[in-house]
Structures are given as C-alpha cells and as structure tokens.
Structure 1
Amino acid sequence: MSSVTFLNRQALYLRPDTARVIVRPFKPTTEPRDLKPTDKTRANHIVDRVLGLDPEAAASQLADVLENFQGRHRNLLAIFEARADEMEEALIAHASFSRTQRQLLGAYFLNEYSFEASALFNPSIVSHPDQSGAPEGGRRFILSLRAVGEGHVSSLTFRSGSIAADGSVSVDPTARLAAMPKVVRRVGSPEGDHVEVAFKSEEDISERVIFPVTQAQSNGIEDARFVEFADDGRKTFYATYTAYSGTGIRSELIETSDFLSFKMVPLRGSAARNKGMALFPRKIGGRYAMIARQDNENLYLITSDDLYSWDGGELLLKPEFPWEFVQIGNCGSPIELDEGWLLLTHGVGPVRKYSIGAALLAKNDPSKVLARSREPLLRPEPSEREGYVPNVVYTCGAMRHGDQIVLPYAVSDTYSNFATIKIAALLKTMEN
C-alpha cells in the first residue's frame, strides 16, 4: 500500500525566526596567559570604566540601553540587576555601587542570543495539561522543539496548538518575546548537577526557552522525547534528552507537571551513555521501561525499578531493510494501541538518507515484535530534501488522537511540519 493511502502531510510549517532572542550572560574572552593573581581581569577593567562615569553620564547611558532594548525583553531592569547579583563575587573588590551603576553593569555582562536562528526541528508532542478551550472532539497539545543558534548550541523551546476532531492541526501564534527560566535549585551529585528551573506564569508557553544550565549541557540540550506518564492516577510529563558538553554526551531526564517548572536530572547506568532513550508511558509488569540504542546501530528494550538508573538491555530490533541498513533508532516513546505498542523508528540508508518507519510490540511483553514496516511511512519528499542536513525526516515523538497518529516531524534539520496517519491502514501495511 502506498504511504499516501494512510499518511497526510499538513503543510503547517514551523520555521526558525532570527528575531526571537533571549539575553544570556556574557563573559569576556580568556585572559592573557601571563596574568598574575594580583592583576585585574578584563571584567575588572569594565567595572572600573563604568564606575568612572559620573552619575549623570551613568544614568544617561542606562536610559539609552533601555531605549534600545526595552521592547525586546520583559523587565529589563530586573534582568540587569539579577546579572549584577550573579557577579557579586567579582564586584566585591570594587567600591560600593549606586543602583543605576549596578543595573548598567548588569547590561555590560549580558548579550542577546538568537536561539533558533539556525534551526527549529526534532519535535515531540503531548496533550496539554490544561484542556480548556479544546475544540469539540479535539484536543489541545504542547509541542517541544530543538532550537539551534549561533555556535550550534541547542536549547528546548515550545509551542501550543489544537487537533480538531477530523485530525487537522493548528498551532497557536508564537509570542514575540522569549525568556529563560530562573534556576531555583541546584544540587551537585557524583553523576552531575540536579537542577530545577521555573518560568513566570505570565510568560506564554512559546516564550519559554530552556537553555543549557550545567557543564554537561553547555553545548546543547538535544532531542527531547516527551511523554505523558501515568502512575497510580498521577500524570507527569517526562522527557529524555541528550546533554552535550562539547566533548561528551549523556542521557538526562526532564520532569514537569505544568510546563512552568522543570527538574533536570542526569541518568545513571551503562545504558544511559548514548543518545536516543525513550520512556514507555506507563510501567510494564511493575517496572519502568525504555527503548534505547547503546551500540549506535540497534534498538534495545531496558527495564528498571529506578527511573534514574538504566543498565543492560535486551536486543529488540536491528537493521533489516535497505532503508535502515546503516542504523536504526527510536522516534519517541511507544504509543499504546489496542493491538500493542506502536514504536516509531528512524532508519538511515544510502547517502545517509533518514526515513521514519514503525514496529508493533506486544502490549504485555514489549520484547516481542509482532509486526514491522518493510517500507518507510515517511521519507523526504523532493521539497524536503534541502536544509542544514539534507535528506532527513525525523521526529522525537508522536501522539494518538482517536483513530489517527499525529506526527510532528523535522525536515532536513531545519524546520518542522505535521502529518497524520490512519492507524488501521498503517497496521495493515506492517508485516508479521
């Protein structure tokens, strides 16, 4: 059966927008190698210059900065003061500061960053925790996306939207402003920092940007695979993601119940040292379960009594068809159907072309593969082949709505789109 029989592209494109910026700490470049402990650093020099301004000049300069940047961010003066607070240790060696001087100093140690200037891709989708305003017979959703800016640094951003009863998708307008959350708690551990961050309630979901906040994440928070997890009647949203330091990777877990406050925790164990882990939406046989790819080539099933520790694994799927001969991986958390667990997969074929396929796993024993797609469900169309990384379609998670699968997917690591898939027709194309 041709893919057009059961898959419908929505032509609802989410493209990167260079005008959306956050402010993040600016740190002067590395000091000279022969710097003595008693020498002043570049930061000290900047502070001295600001302190050298007379009060009227300092006030005038601060007013000029506000006039230039006020419409681009919320509460700029508070942001400037918070940055000065972060630098208290560096400022303590200097004379006392007026409030105007502190705010101006904060401005000098910040810079704007266009967090999605290069790409907006690898989406995942879950039901919105607040279903008020959902269309009749439809559902509200939250979409997570990987945003990439200067230096190829990845962060996590969001959109909201609705699925109508007929499966058509709409995305809410994107806010003009963007903001990073406040770090409200940080606890060190042998495996790395555990961090809690929180946004302000007045910040729209599309304003919220989770930018790297630990050394392990310093070069990127990549490919979050969100899932709505049910446990004893309590629903929590989890996402596994890849933390990239610039030299190494590891899997971490993010947790939220409202998409306002988030906990980020490193995962432990031998199975957490690679990319692409995806959590099942509920326990199976009393244990947590994950799909993972420890060896860069095959897919494994892992179970654990501890949500934060993952070892071992049982080989589940390996490359079998030409479109996936290079490697396979998961495309998000398994989706529960009456017939079993629907696992979307990606395969890499000739000339490193990425396509999306599927497998069906037994509901009570997902180590058993019931069926598998011989041909991809989704492969790059001619119009989807060009981008930052050509010949790629990819997703980090889909969602069931009625008799359909709503599939957000990325195009050539540049922008994102949606497709819907008829479940019954899809299952008919899969081979036992």
Structure 2
Amino acid sequence: MLICRPDQSPLHILDEKLNADPSRVVLRPFHLAWQASVSEPSRAAQLVSDILTLDDDQAEAELDIVWQDFSERHWQIGRIFDQRFAEIAEDVRLARASVSPVKQRLIGAYFCHEYSYAAAALMNPSVVPHPDQSGLSGGQQRFLMSLRAVGEGHISSIAFREGMIGPGGDFRLWPQSGPAMAAVVDDRHRMEADGAVTVHRQPDSAISNSVLFPVTEAQRNGLEDLRLVSFTHDDGRREYIGTYTAYSGRAIRSEMLRTTDFASFCLEPFTGRAARNKGMALFPRKIGGRYLMVGRQDGKNVTLLSSDSLTHWDDEGELLLSPEFPWEFVQMGNCGSPIECDEGWLLLTHGVGAMRKYSLGAALLDRDDPSRVIGRTACPILTAAESDREGYVPNVVYTCGAMRVGDELFIPYGISDSAIGFATASLDDLLDLLL
C-alpha cells in the first residue's frame, strides 16, 4: 500500500519569500463612469470644464498640493500627467493650445490615480533565464520571474522580478528600486477586439518595476497565470512567449504574450476551439514540425495539443494524464511549460484532493513523442505546509513554470494565493520518484 509522507519530498525550500505588498503602487489612468445621457456632456468633459473655471492662482495652488503629496512617490509624475492630459484633450475635443501648462498638468492629475497592484494577493509565478547572462560564473544563472498580482477590484496584472540562482540554493532577488510603473499601449487607436496589442515599458523603468495591466475589453478583469517559456524557433531565433488567461468579468479566453527584450510586449489572442480554455502551456520548441502545448480542455485531465500555427489552436487535444492518485482525484493540470532533459520532457503538474488541497507532482514525457508518458510521481513533491496554509485561498501551492539550472530545478511557487515561495530540487532525485 502506497502512503505518501511530506518528508519524502525531494525539494529544498529556500528561506526567501515574497508577500503581497500594498505599498507597491503605480500611477494609472482614472476613468469616470459614463452617467450622462447622450444629449448631455460626459462626466469627463464636465470635470475638465470645472477645472478650467479655476483662475490661474487657484490652479497653481491645487497643483502644488498634488506635487507635495505625490511627486516623491512617482519620479516621472509630470510626464505622466502631461501624457494623460493629451489623451483627455483628444477625448473631449479640447484645444490643447488654449489651456495653460499648469491647468494641463492639473487636468492630467485629476484623471490619474494610485493603484496598489499587489495589495490583495501575489501568486502563481513562472520563471525563465534572463536575457542577460553576462558576468556570471560557477553555474549561476540570472532569471526573470513573472508574478500574478491582484489589487483593488480583484484585477489581476503581470509583475516581474529579476534575480540570480546558482547551485546548492545560491539565490538572490534584485531589489526593487523606486516606484513601479505601468506599461503603456503603443497606439490606443489601434485596439481591435480580436487583434494584437503592443505595450511597452515606461522609459527608464526597470523590468522589476514594470507592471502589465489589462488594456482590452477581453482583459478587463485580469491577465491571469502567465506561463513563460524561452522558445527557440526553427531558424534558431529565441523569443519569450507566455500563455495566459484573459478574463473580461464574464468570459475567459487564452492569449499570448510575446517579447524578445521585455521592453516591448505583444499581447495577442489565440484563435480556435482550444483557446476557450485556461492553463495552456507551450513546449519550448517545435516537435515533429508542429507546435505543442499541454492544457486542460475538460476541467479535469491534462491534454496534449498540437498545431501548425502558433496563434491558431483548433485541436481538442489527446488525453495525456488523468487523476490516478488520491491527492489529484478532483482534477489535474500543468504547472508550466515542459522542461527538456536527457531523459525526456519533465512536466510539473498540480493535483487537487480532499478539502480542495492542492499539491505539486511531476511526469516525464518522451522527447520525440510527448504523447507517451514514461513515468509520473505517485506522491506529491510539494504540498501546503502547516506554516503556508493560511492566505487568500487556503491550502494551495501552485506554480506556472520552473527553470532548469544545471542539474537542478528551480521552482518558484504560489502559497495560498498570498505569497511566493522558492524551492530547488536535484533532477536526479526528482526523476528517481517517477513510476
């Protein structure tokens, strides 16, 4: 009889932990609700009109108050106010030249607000090798980690952290310097409902201080659970691709983030029947001339999807893994893109058992034919420890992607949808557990 015990886990839990932090704020556009009839001015136009009634001394005094309250918290605040005024002036058809510089900035201030993007939760990380690997030694690698951050209104955004990982759990996170800044849309006039949208980091904003927010109607309530992978195209070109769930508040669909430098990002929806589901994770290269993904098309089992197009996924997929052990009886899913090793494709999985308790496991797929499962873990490799059970969603451990570092695996993971923990494991020890 098989009995799983926590002390059988091959993972080494690192001391570092990231928690939700209400002090991390960004300046974001503030949108007034449309509450006027068609024959009346919008609330935005009325607010602009009210600001314009102020005399110059009043406007300057009000802007000074804003400056005293917020300028030290946001070092590019003037430029952001100027940009926001330009957008509002266009929306309400206001002649910019007719407005004094002070009132321009004051109008911009009225249409911005601080948003604490990670006040409610921080969870579900994924990790890839950093684009810059210069100056390292002794098996060290820089990494770039994505995080799902949740703030007011339960809106999910994508945040990033950079760091270094080396053999034996040698681990460091780079500090976050200064305030965070929201990425901005390249062209807000070219945002088709089912088209790609390009956003870019603010000038002089580091990756670790940048946040990607929903920008389309389909994303209105969140960008959820980004699964990053360093993808190698047939011509040798490398691109970072992340699959995520766009949530409008009513419906979900799978979308894709693409970038080569983490300075500019293309957000593009998948098309096809498979795109209506959550949790798709892309293999890091083509296999047999086709793109492959793992997903969960029926809400319970892990499926293997294939396509000859990176953006169109019409394949309903073939069954890859089904719940077999008690800790995964409720449902299974992938925990990020498969990781290539000599023995095959290592796929981290999650399972849900009694009391909706989440656990992490692993499976090994054949390198040439990933539809063939070589082995899987009968016992979890990580469950919620007693000290990690409490949080926004209790009894959950979850990751959206790990990274190979030499002969070890580096696994950042979400803790009860409230914090991020970190673990390492020897690949040999992990593979020894597969049945």
Shorter-chain TM-score: what band?
over 0.9
| SS class of match (1:233) | coil
5+ residue gaps, structure 1, are: none
- Change in Cα spacing, 1:252 to 1:5, as seen in structure 2 (3 Å) is closer
Matches within 5 A, 1:195-344: 195-200=197-202, 202-231=204-233, 232-312=235-315, 313-344=317-348
* Structure 1 contact 8–421 (Cα < 8 Å) conserved: yes
* Correspondence 1:107 to 2:91: no
Q: CA deviation at 1:48?
A: 1.9
Deviation per CA, 1:184-233: give whole Å up to 9, x if none: 146455x6131111114521121110011111111000000000011222
* Structure 1 contact 333–343 (Cα < 8 Å) conserved: yes
Q: CA deviation at 1:87?
A: 1.4
* Correspondence 1:92 to 2:93: yes
* Structure 2 contact 9–382 (Cα < 8 Å) conserved: no
Give the Cα–Cα distance (whole angstroms) in 2 for the partners of residues 332 and 410 of structure 1: 13
What root-mean-square deviation, in Å, do the aligned CA atoms of Structure 1 and Structure 2 show? Answer: 1.6
Task: Give the structure 2 partner of residue 174 of structure 1.
Answer: 176
Shifted more, 385-394 versus 97-106: the winner is 97-106
Match for 2:127: what amino acid? I
Q: CA deviation at 1:88?
A: 2.3
Give the Cα–Cα distance (whole angstroms) in 2 for the partners of residues 31 and 344 of structure 1: 48
- Change in Cα spacing, 1:349 to 1:169, as seen in structure 2 (3 Å) is same
| SS class of match (1:71) | coil
Task: Give the structure 1 partner of residue 78 of structure 2.
Answer: 77
Task: Give the structure 2 partner of residue 149 of structure 1.
Answer: 151
Q: CA deviation at 1:133?
A: 3.8
Give the Cα–Cα distance (whole angstroms) in 2 for the partners of residues 341 and 365 of structure 1: 10
Give the Cα–Cα distance (whole angstroms) in 1 for the partners of residues 49 and 135 of structure 2: 54
Give the Cα–Cα distance (whole angstroms) in 1 for the partners of residues 416 and 359 of structure 2: 11
Give the Cα–Cα distance (whole angstroms) in 2 for the partners of residues 64 and 97 of structure 1: 20
Match for 2:250: what amino acid? T
Matches within 5 A, 1:112-131: 112-131=114-133
| SS class of match (2:429) | helix
* Correspondence 1:420 to 2:424: yes
* Correspondence 1:368 to 2:369: no
- Change in Cα spacing, 1:58 to 1:188, as seen in structure 2 (3 Å) is closer
* Structure 1 contact 12–418 (Cα < 8 Å) conserved: yes
* Structure 2 contact 9–381 (Cα < 8 Å) conserved: no
Give the Cα–Cα distance (whole angstroms) in 2 for the partners of residues 201 and 110 of structure 1: 18
Q: Report how many aligned residue pairs link the two structures.
A: 427
Match for 2:380: what amino acid? P
- Change in Cα spacing, 1:185 to 1:108, as seen in structure 2 (3 Å) is closer
TM-score by length of structure 1 reads 0.95
Task: Give the structure 2 partner of residue 164 of structure 1.
Answer: 166
Q: CA deviation at 1:28?
A: 2.2
5+ residue gaps, structure 2, are: none
Give the Cα–Cα distance (whole angstroms) in 2 for the partners of residues 157 and 93 of structure 1: 35
Task: Give the structure 1 partner of residue 42 of structure 2.
Answer: 41
Match for 2:207: what amino acid? I
Give the Cα–Cα distance (whole angstroms) in 2 for the partners of residues 128 and 94 of structure 1: 45
Q: CA deviation at 1:288?
A: 0.7
Deviation per CA, 1:31-74: give whole Å up to 9, x if none: 15xx3x33233223221221111112212211221121111113
Give the Cα–Cα distance (whole angstroms) in 1 for the partners of residues 34 and 326 of structure 2: 49
Q: CA deviation at 1:173?
A: 1.0
* Structure 2 contact 275–313 (Cα < 8 Å) conserved: yes
Match for 2:75: what amino acid? R
* Structure 1 contact 409–417 (Cα < 8 Å) conserved: yes
Match for 1:180: what amino acid? A
Give the Cα–Cα distance (whole angstroms) in 1 for the partners of residues 183 and 43 of structure 2: 28
| SS class of match (2:134) | coil
Give the Cα–Cα distance (whole angstroms) in 1 for the partners of residues 392 and 367 of structure 2: 38
* Correspondence 1:350 to 2:354: yes
Identity %: 51
| SS class of match (2:217) | coil
Deviation per CA, 1:371-402: give whole Å up to 9, x if none: 01111110010011100000000000001111
Structure 2 residue corresponding to 1:377, chosen from 374, 377, 381:
381
Match for 2:309: what amino acid? D
Q: CA deviation at 1:169?
A: 1.7
Q: CA deviation at 1:93?
A: 5.6
Q: CA deviation at 1:94?
A: 7.5
* Structure 2 contact 294–304 (Cα < 8 Å) conserved: yes
TM-score by length of structure 2 reads 0.95
Give the Cα–Cα distance (whole angstroms) in 2 for the partners of residues 4 and 417 of structure 1: 19
Give the Cα–Cα distance (whole angstroms) in 1 for the partners of residues 159 and 91 of structure 2: 32
| SS class of match (2:367) | coil
Matches within 5 A, 1:1-40: 4=8, 6-31=10-35, 35=37, 37-40=38-41
Give the Cα–Cα distance (whole angstroms) in 2 for the partners of residues 425 and 14 of structure 1: 27
Shifted more, 174-183 versus 409-418: the winner is 174-183
| SS class of match (2:68) | helix
Q: CA deviation at 1:322?
A: 0.6
